[in-house]
Amino acid sequence: MMKRLFALGLAIVLSPVFAGEGEHQHPAPPVLGKAAETIWTCSMHPQIRMPRPGKCPICHMDLISLKTDVGAMHSTAPVLTLSPYAEKLADVRTSKVERKFIPVELSLNGRIDYDESSIADIALRFPGRIDKLYVNYTGVVVHRGEHMAKVFSPDLAVMQTEYLLEIKNVGRGNLRNSVRSKILSWGFTPEQIEEIEKRGTVEDQLTINAPIDGTVIEKNVVEGQYFDKEKRLFRIADLSRLWLILDVYEMDLPLIHYGQEVEFRTDATPGETLRGVISYVGPVLDPKTRTVPVRVNLANPDGRLKPGMFARATVRAVLDEHGKVIDDRLAGKWISPMHPEIIRDKPGKCPVCGMDLVPAESLGFSTTPSARAQPPPVIPSTAPLLTGKRAVVYVRTAPGKYEGRTVELGPKTGDFYPVRSGLSGGEDVVTAGTMKIDSAMQISGLPSMTSPENFTAHPMKMNMSKTGSLDGVFRAVIAVHAPLVKGDAGAAAIALDTVRKAIEALPEDAKKQELLAVLPKTFPGDIGGLRSVYGKLADLLYRRSEEPGFDRQKLKLHRFHCPMAFGGKGGYWFQDNAELENPYYGAAMLKCGEEK
């Protein structure tokens, strides 16, 4: 409730006026009806529109009058007109919509992992026993063909006997080749098979050799242990090739593309920047972390990088007006979809995997070199108000005039948003004070960031009635309480200026001038001075509320007193609820005082 009252005060200060000015207006359709009529609304619920005075059906407060020019209804975007003083209070600042390339630097966390394509398992297709271990601990570096273990199994003799019989009976036919393939699959090498043929006898032992160069990262048996069929005895990994797995949040995915260069650092390589290339972007989002795994191929010839290490990575990108990554080195190039480090000037085959090379643009890259690419229009990230799928900005169309727009934004790039529609280069977009302008729109019942409709919602031209009441002054005073409690000098000054507007709307008499005399022409810039102004105003208003003919009970306000305020002189204040919050001390002594 306090926020709405504050927004009401801001709406009065910012004086919303909806005019058909500016280059973005559209012809208004003719509207039949009276030239002008008075409607009544609620300061707390501006969506209420009544043809006569009465009570708000929601909160039962007295309705206030609005001057509505029915003939002025149109489909033009809403425009606020601000006085220079109101602009200063709202701290409104703008910047030009520019067309420029915005380099994006994305910081990511990741971890070093094994290259799954360089891992080999040793598992046998028969049960047996480990008679001899040549590799007896994890971490041993082995080379292809080196002995790892000698195993015993009766099944070995059966297999060799079957093979020798086939050689004797069939010779070198297809059946023999079939048996040879089977015995190879059991772990025999071609050299061991040739030895069996020459020897002509069988053995019940087999020497297991390393299938690749690498490091033993798993050893699941000990000497003398029996093992089952298909049990994994060893796992070997080639650590000269590793992967860097990065966790990329879904909002950052538009900045990540296959083939992109990545820089990273680890604690094991202080002061040194390492590089790799993105070779894979995961197809599925992790629902728990809301991230997608991105893989980077790494060369690790010296073995400094170890699986399990953490890494801090940086990805840089420049986007064109269509949101595609611009990479001059890939413009017009052909890339291997499996090995992104393979880049060629023309179509062909990947020398590593034999797959057809594909055009770089098919992988999401812009085909236009940066020298010819069109930069996107961009606005600072502080300009838009984001709500769901909508983005709202305010544009200064003339000195003191601000127009609301719904815009379509691209992905955030650093401190900027690219604009896909709704703005054009050279326009002045509000970058500070946006929420204060939007609050004035909202409290006036007009399209704002909270409106479900766009800014083409047929707003009405409205002006507050010139004749106010003491009730309205009290409601404006209530809005001063919250910023004083928070110690927000800027918001408190705006709210006090709202009170001034409400007092100026009172009928002319000496008592009106007495109230105005309490408010200085320029409010103090410090919170202490503003609290002093409020204290004097609260005292004077309470005396006015005791005058005959004024029913202060209908306002349902609470009056509190702090005996310590203003050097022990004490100070009063008003709230619209019974939960005491001291505006003179704020958080320092929030509950100091009592209700009167």
Pairing of strands 462-464, 64-68: antiparallel
- Residue range 483-508: average pLDDT? 81
Residue 563's pLDDT is what?
Answer: 86
User: Residues 507, 450: one domain?
Assistant: no
Residue 43 tokens, joined: 């300061």
Question: Does residue 12 lie within any of the structural domains?
Answer: yes
User: Residues 126, 88: one domain?
Assistant: no
Among the residue ranges 215-219, 326-330, 439-443, 467-471, the one predicted with the least confidence is 439-443
Range list of β-strands (E), 238-300: 241-249, 261-265, 274-281, 291-299
Residue 242 tokens, joined: 């590793």
Question: Does residue 347 lie within any of the structural domains?
Answer: no
pLDDT, tens digit (0-9, with 9 covering 90-100), for 296-337: 989 999 999 999 999 999 998 887 777 677 766 677 788 887
Residue 80, C-beta contacts closer than 8 angstroms, at least 6 positions apart: 14, 15, 16, 17, 394, 401, 402, 437, 440, 441
- Residue range 38-66: average pLDDT? 68
Residue 142 belongs to domain spanning: 116-237
Residue 223's pLDDT is what?
Answer: 93
User: Residues 150, 181: one domain?
Assistant: yes
Whether the predicted pLDDT of 596 surpasses 50: yes
Residue 80's pLDDT is what?
Answer: 72
Among the residue ranges 90-104, 167-181, 187-201, 497-511, the one predicted with the least confidence is 167-181
Residue bearing tokens 């005996």: 563
Last residue of a domain, one of 174, 206, 237: 237
Whether the predicted pLDDT of 7 surpasses 50: no
pLDDT, tens digit (0-9, with 9 covering 90-100), for 404-424: 888 888 777 778 888 888 888
Sheet-wide strand order for 343-344: 343-344, 334-335, 358-359
Question: Does residue 72 lie within any of the structural domains?
Answer: yes
Last residue of a domain, one of 237, 254, 282: 237
User: Residues 483, 571: one domain?
Assistant: yes
Model confidence at 549, pLDDT cuts 50, 70, 90, reads low
Q: Which residue has the higher pLDDT, 544 or 380?
A: 380
Range from 239-248, 313-322, 509-518, 583-592 that averages highest in pLDDT: 239-248
User: Residues 532, 447: one domain?
Assistant: no
- Residue range 150-165: average pLDDT? 85
Domain harbouring 199, CATH code: 2.40.50.100
- Residue range 131-144: average pLDDT? 93
Residue 300's pLDDT is what?
Answer: 92
Residue 336's pLDDT is what?
Answer: 84
Q: In angstroms, what CA-CA distances link 469 with 48, 209, 472, 474?
A: 20, 98, 5, 9
Residue 34's pLDDT is what?
Answer: 38
Whether the predicted pLDDT of 403 surpasses 90: no
Question: Does residue 85 lie within any of the structural domains?
Answer: yes
Averaged pLDDT of the chain: 78
Question: Does residue 368 lie within any of the structural domains?
Answer: no
Whether the predicted pLDDT of 111 surpasses 90: yes
User: Residues 33, 71: one domain?
Assistant: yes
245 vs 137: CA distance, rounded Å: 28
Q: Are 351 and 338 in contact, with CB atoms under 8 Å apart?
A: no
Question: Does residue 509 lie within any of the structural domains?
Answer: yes
Residue 463's pLDDT is what?
Answer: 35
User: Residues 69, 84: one domain?
Assistant: yes
Residue 311 tokens, joined: 């890494």
Note every long-range contact of 386-391, with CB atoms under 8 Å and residues 24 or more positions apart, other chains counting: 386/449, 387/449, 387/450, 390/449, 390/454, 391/417
User: Residues 130, 87: one domain?
Assistant: no
Residue 467's pLDDT is what?
Answer: 43
Last residue of a domain, one of 464, 483, 515: 464
Question: Does residue 279 lie within any of the structural domains?
Answer: no
pTM beyond 0.75: no
Domain count, the chain: 3
User: Residues 163, 192: one domain?
Assistant: yes
Model confidence at 564, pLDDT cuts 50, 70, 90, reads confident
Range from 86-90, 345-349, 464-468 that averages highest in pLDDT: 345-349
Question: Does residue 530 lie within any of the structural domains?
Answer: yes
Among the residue ranges 157-161, 453-457, 564-568, the one predicted with the least confidence is 453-457
Q: State the virtual CA torsion across 272, 275, 280, 281 in degrees, nearest 10.
A: 60
User: Residues 591, 478: one domain?
Assistant: yes
Model confidence at 464, pLDDT cuts 50, 70, 90, reads very low
User: Residues 138, 50: one domain?
Assistant: no
Among the residue ranges 27-31, 115-119, 401-405, 500-504, the one predicted with the least confidence is 27-31
Residue 140's pLDDT is what?
Answer: 94
Residue 192, C-beta contacts closer than 8 angstroms, at least 6 positions apart: 206, 207
User: Residues 442, 460: one domain?
Assistant: yes
- Residue range 515-520: average pLDDT? 83
